[in-house]
Homo-oligomer: A and B are copies of this chain.
Amino acid sequence: MQPYITLDTPVTDEVLNLIAHLPTKSLAAVVAPAFFKKLTNENFMRIGVLLAQKGYDEGGCPIGGVVIDNETRQIIGKGHNTLVQDNDPYNHGETSAIRDAGRQDFSRMTIFTTLSPCDICATLLYMRGFSRVIVGDVTSASGNEDLLRSKGVTVDILEDPMGIALYAKYRREKPDLDIEDWKGLAAVHKG
Residues of A participating in the B interface, judged by any CB pair closer than 8 Å: 83, 86-91, 95, 98-99, 101-107, 118-120, 123-124, 127-129, 180, 182-187, 189-190
Contacts and interface: CB of A to CB of B under 8 A. Distances in A.
Contacts of A187: 129
Given A90-B98, A103-B87, A103-B180, A123 B128 contact: no
A183 B128 CA distance: 6
Nearest to A77: B89
A45 to B, nearest CB: 22
Stoichiometry, as copies per complex, reads 2
Nearest to A94: B90
Nearest to A186: B129
Contacts of A101: 89
| Candidate in A101, A106, A107, A128 with the most chain B CB atoms within 10 angstroms | A128
A186 B106 contact: yes
Contacts of A128: 89-90, 183-184, 186
A128 B187 CA distance: 8
A88 B101 CA distance: 8
A72 to B, nearest CB: 17
B102 A88 contact: yes
A180 to B, nearest CB: 7
